Amino acid sequence: MAALHIKKGSTKHSAYNLRPTFSDVQETHTLAVLVENEPGVLARVIGLFSGRGYNIESLTVAEVDHQGHLSRITIVTTGTPQVIEQIKAQLGRIVSVHDVHDLTVEGRSVERELGLFKVSGTGDKRIEALRLAEIFRANVVDSTLESFIFEITGAPEKIDAFADLMRPLGLFEVARTGVAALSRGAE
Amino acid sequence: MTRQMTGAKMVVQALKDQGVDTVFGYPGGAVLPIYDEVFQQNDIRHILVRHEQGAVHAAEGYARSTGKVGVALVTSGPGATNAVTGLTDALMDSIPILVISGQVPTFLIGSDAFQEADTVGITRPCTKHNWLVKDTAQLSQTIHQAFHVASAGRPGPVLIDIPKDVQFATATYMPPQSIKIGHYNPQVKGDLAAIAELAEAIEEAECPILYTGGGVINSGPGASQLLRELVEATGIPITSTLMGLGAYPASGKHWLGMLGMHGLYEANMAMHDCDLMIAVGARFDDRITGRIDAFSPNSKKAHIDIDPSSINKVIRTDIPIIGDVGHVLEDLLKVWKSRGRKTNKEALSKWRAKIDHWRTVDCLKFDQGKTIIKPQYALQRLEALTKDRDRYICTEVGQHQMWAAQFLRFEGPNRWMTSGGLGTMGYGFPASIGVQMAHPDALVINVAGEASWLMNMQELGTAMQFRLPVKQFILNNERLGMVRQWQELLHGERYSQSWSEALPDFVKLAEAFGAKGITCSDPADLDDAIMEMLDHDGPVIFDCLVEKHENCFPMIPSGAPHNKMLLGEASTKGAIETSGAVLV
């Protein structure tokens, strides 16, 4: 029997290529997961993602109903349609999870993220940064003679675009919250 | 009725109120208050194991053979970490068990105290759910909730971690009927439109097959009964996974035998060639499907499962039905009857003739010979000599397990305890102890390999202490047989570390514990030796010296489809591609 020659990193010989490829298209979905606000619940959710090899692109979590002990976790994830379905089903069977909504397929939704950007510089760069911040409706929340902190809210793409513009102007440090999202309409 | 009591007393009271009669466990510093309460009562029997892994497997054996929640009690730190294998085993096979672990007092948590471990952190991925109870007032309702979570929906293991100060503190005990069971209530009724679609598919099918799994057993004896009714009424041939054996009787006329990697030729061929596959409480495990893109290529697939994540996980389903097997089968039978009990009789009889033709291959045939006992022959004789008894079978993991599944015949559910998903060597012996506790008058046999059996052999002490007459039927080939088989077929016959060197004399080992040991190496003596084992009222270690190089066939090599089975030694040359060797 011939010895195995498997290239490092090759998936050709991996067990996983025996999984069905229902579709190869990678889709990005935003999931809203309503969970019991109890110790360890976030670990259950992210443990599921790491244990089963799913991606997390963005994650936000906060209590949304103090009386009902409910927190809302918003997860942006990427995968084939089959993987996304698995993720939702796997999330749904965690005992602490009350509800899973796929905002990407359940009608239109609003997605927002908050970013804090520290930009340091003097002279023209400083003026340019301030001018661009105005265009992006970013607020100055801290200023020194050599720096600003801008606060910006918007869809993740807008924040990405702002970051791209700030980089040559002395972008020093960034903090982003990750996406929070709600479905549009009365329901 | 509510009462004030300590947390430790609450544990015992809650277990009683949940109908628990047996707990398997091992004491230690962090559970001493609970053990003090166990000492002061007689309603719950505590079975002292010799290792916490044994306690959890015993609880699993108890649960699998009764359908009730099995309970294990362990201490903090090493007690809890030793329970991890059993918890994972129960998670993979959907077995309802509750493990209660002691924890260092709340004010020491996080300080790296003696015998401290992050038990809920460690067991989070290997339980269905777990709790750390930091307030005695929450304890009784958490225990009741745990029983609900373990048994509702797809069953599974749960763990409650109780710090020692919570065990000492006093609060109000809440009985089960006063507890609000939270939001966790999985759907049990299947969608009627999908069930009607399945009934219609059954009417039209020319080559249908039922592929059933452990979900039927977990759904309760009623589900097995309904499955039998469905098979008799429709005449659909039926095969089962390792986990589902016994749901349909092996003596039933539509029985094909087990399917999968070491399943029967006729079962696998029928899976490959069918035009309607009805998966009932089975999860398309890789041991079942073989190569996925060549799995039953021309069939419409219906899938009944209580866990939505099982649907479309591996194989795309045409008719998904989410619900409890018992409820769905009941509705399916109703719908099918109300539609006039139609099947395509002519096509079905052709299909059965085709299956009968596959049967003539006689895929389990082996050549016994006169000098050495073949493992298959040992099981054949064990079957013949025990089939009319009230019998429960456990196994360890490996070749003997597959041969047991092939050669032993199960007529009812809950009679077959084996580690399917996780494949835990060392499972069978402690499991047999759990089964014997639940069924004191039954014949409980653990079919083992010598290597697996050694992994938890310390439990012989438990069997002796509690006078549990479990029969350890060891097929001793002085090899890790399944590893050896793979090395022969896939790794150029380089038998790396796959032999059992320095084995004990099993007869003397038995005698050292005060048990009976029997050894047998001659096929002519086998029947008498088995009878001697059965007639002995106490634990027996039966050291059956078998052929050392026997391989387990049929075999679907990893990476091959169902219709490319290896049937015997002659068919193995060059049969496994290098890409298959990567798979487990």
- A7 reaches B (C-beta below 8 A): no
> Do A124 and A145 reside in the same domain of the chain?
yes
Cα(B396)–Cα(B409) distance, integer angstroms? 17
Residue A13 has a pLDDT of 37
Would you call B559 and A14 a contact, using CB atoms and an 8 Å cutoff? no
pLDDT tier for residue B181 given thresholds of 50, 70 and 90: confident
Tell me, yes or no, whether A17 lies in a domain: no
Q: Residue B35's CB: how many other CB atoms inside 10 A?
A: 20
Nearest to A86 among B313, B316, B583 (CB): B313
Cα A82–chain centre separation = 20
Helices (H), A14-61: 41-51
Backbone φ, ψ for residue A129 (5° rounding) = -60, -45
Residue B1 has a pLDDT of 54
Tell me, yes or no, whether B348 lies in a domain: yes
* Residue B62 predicted with pLDDT over 60: yes
Tell me, yes or no, whether B207 lies in a domain: yes
Task: Determine the residue type at A71.
Answer: S
> Do A96 and A114 reside in the same domain of the chain?
no
What b/e readout covers B365-385, taking b as 16+ CB neighbours within 10 angstroms?
ebeeeeeebbbbbbbbbbbee
> Do A62 and A116 reside in the same domain of the chain?
no
Tell me, yes or no, whether A139 lies in a domain: yes
Cα–Cα distances in angstroms (integers) from residue B545 to residues B366, B475, B517, B528, in the given order: 17, 6, 13, 15
Q: Give per-residue pLDDT as tens, A73-98.
A: 999 999 999 999 999 999 999 999 99
> Do B340 and B232 reside in the same domain of the chain?
yes
- What range defines the domain where residue A164 resides? 110-183
| Residues B174 and B2: beta-carbon distance below 8 Å | yes
Closest chain B residue by Cα to residue A90: B309
Tell me, yes or no, whether B382 lies in a domain: yes
Which chain A residues are within 8 Å of B183, Cβ to Cβ? Answer: 36, 98
Which chain A residues are within 8 Å of B314, Cβ to Cβ? Answer: 19-20
Tell me, yes or no, whether B571 lies in a domain: no
* Residue B2 predicted with pLDDT over 70: no
Q: Specify whether B52 is catalytic.
A: yes
> Do B159 and B56 reside in the same domain of the chain?
yes
- What range defines the domain where residue B309 resides? 192-359
> Do B532 and B410 reside in the same domain of the chain?
yes
Tell me, yes or no, whether A157 lies in a domain: yes
Residue A14 has a pLDDT of 38
Q: Any residues with CB less than 8 A from the CB of B399 and at least 6 apart, and which? A: B375, B449, B475, B477, B481, B482, B485, B550, B551, B552
Q: Any residues with CB less than 8 A from the CB of B311 and at least 6 apart, and which? A: A89, B303, B305, B317, B320, B322
CATH assignment at residue B534: 3.40.50.970
- Tell which B residues from 465 to 504 touch A, by Cβ distance under 8 Å: 490-492
Tell me, yes or no, whether A6 lies in a domain: no
Interstrand relation of B45-48 and B22-25 (parallel, antiparallel or unpaired): parallel
Closest chain B residue by Cα to residue A51: B125
* Residue B65 predicted with pLDDT over 70: yes
CATH assignment at residue B197: 3.40.50.1220
Dihedral sign for Cα A97, B324, B335, B231, please.
positive
Tell me, yes or no, whether B368 lies in a domain: no
- A6 reaches B (C-beta below 8 A): yes
Which chain A residues are within 8 Å of B490, Cβ to Cβ? Answer: 1
> Do B385 and B334 reside in the same domain of the chain?
no
Closest by CA to B215, choosing from B331, B87, B91, B304, is B304
> Do B379 and B508 reside in the same domain of the chain?
yes
Would you call B583 and A90 a contact, using CB atoms and an 8 Å cutoff? no
Nearest to A89 among B309, B492, B583 (CB): B309
Q: Give per-residue pLDDT as tens, B369-428.
A: 999 999 999 999 999 999 999 999 999 999 999 999 999 999 999 999 999 999 999 999
> Do A130 and A66 reside in the same domain of the chain?
no
Tell me, yes or no, whether B536 lies in a domain: yes
> Do A172 and A115 reside in the same domain of the chain?
yes
> Do A96 and A115 reside in the same domain of the chain?
no
Residue B24 has a pLDDT of 98
Backbone φ, ψ for residue B399 (5° rounding) = -55, -45
Q: Give chain A's length.
A: 187
> Do B255 and B132 reside in the same domain of the chain?
no
Q: Any residues with CB less than 8 A from the CB of A129 and at least 6 apart, and which? A: A119, A121, A148, A150, A166, A169, A170
| Residues B73 and B23: beta-carbon distance below 8 Å | yes
3-state SS assignment for residue B502: coil
| Segment B297-306 mean pLDDT | 97
Residue B560 has a pLDDT of 87
Cα B161–chain centre separation = 25
Residue B270 has a pLDDT of 98
Q: Give per-residue pLDDT as tens, A99-128.
A: 999 999 999 999 999 999 999 999 999 999
Task: Spell out the SS3 assignment of B398-450.
Answer: CHHHHHHHHHCCCCCCCCEECCCCCCCCCCHHHHHHHHHHHCCCCEEEEEEEH
Tell me, yes or no, whether A125 lies in a domain: yes
β-partners of residue B394 are B417, B446
Q: Specify whether B164 is catalytic.
A: yes
Residue B568 has a pLDDT of 84
ipTM: 0.92
Q: Give per-residue pLDDT as tens, B70-97.
A: 999 999 999 999 999 999 999 999 999 9
Cα(B326)–Cα(B217) distance, integer angstroms? 10
> Do B354 and B485 reside in the same domain of the chain?
no
| Segment B276-305 mean pLDDT | 96
CATH assignment at residue A149: 3.30.70.1150
Q: Give per-residue pLDDT as tens, B494-513.
A: 999 999 999 999 999 999 99
Number of domains, chain A = 2
> Do B65 and B169 reside in the same domain of the chain?
yes
- B313 reaches A (C-beta below 8 A): yes
pLDDT tier for residue B569 given thresholds of 50, 70 and 90: confident
Q: Of A102, A133, A155, which residue constitutes the final position of a domain?
A: A102
Helices (H), B313-413: 325-338, 345-359, 375-386, 399-407
| Segment B157-175 mean pLDDT | 98
> Do B139 and B204 reside in the same domain of the chain?
no
Parts of chain A with a pLDDT under 70: 1-22
Give the position of tokens 């749904």.
A92
Q: Specify whether B114 is catalytic.
A: yes
Q: Give per-residue pLDDT as tens, B313-328.
A: 999 999 999 999 999 9
Min distance A20 CA to chain B CA atoms (Å): 6
β-partners of residue A174 are A117
> Do B417 and B533 reside in the same domain of the chain?
yes
| Segment B259-277 mean pLDDT | 97
Six token digits for residue B126? 């290997």
Closest by CA to B141, choosing from B308, B18, B45, B271, is B18
- Tell which A residues from 69 to 128 touch B, by Cβ distance under 8 Å: 82, 85-86, 89-90, 92-93, 95-96, 98
Tell me, yes or no, whether B558 lies in a domain: no
Nearest to A15 among B128, B490, B582 (CB): B582
Q: Which helix (H) or strand (E) holds A32?
A: strand A27-36
Nearest to B582 among A6, A39, A86 (CB): A6
> Do B270 and B414 reside in the same domain of the chain?
no
Q: Of A76, A102, A128, which residue constitutes the final position of a domain?
A: A102
| Residues B553 and B363: beta-carbon distance below 8 Å | yes
> Do B172 and B201 reside in the same domain of the chain?
no
Q: Which helix (H) or strand (E) holds B543?
A: strand B540-545
Would you call A85 and B312 a contact, using CB atoms and an 8 Å cutoff? yes
Closest by CA to B540, choosing from B451, B446, B466, B475, is B446
> Do A66 and A129 reside in the same domain of the chain?
no
Give chain B's mean pLDDT: 96
Q: Of A48, A79, A102, which residue constitutes the final position of a domain?
A: A102
Closest chain A residue by Cα to residue B119: A40
Tell me, yes or no, whether B457 lies in a domain: yes
Would you call B584 and A39 a contact, using CB atoms and an 8 Å cutoff? no
> Do A37 and A94 reside in the same domain of the chain?
yes
Which chain A residues are within 8 Å of B574, Cβ to Cβ? Answer: 1
Residue B475 has a pLDDT of 98
User: Which one of B16, B114, B531, B569 is the catalytic residue?
Assistant: B114
CATH assignment at residue A75: 3.30.70.260
Number of domains, chain B = 3
Residue B14 has a pLDDT of 98
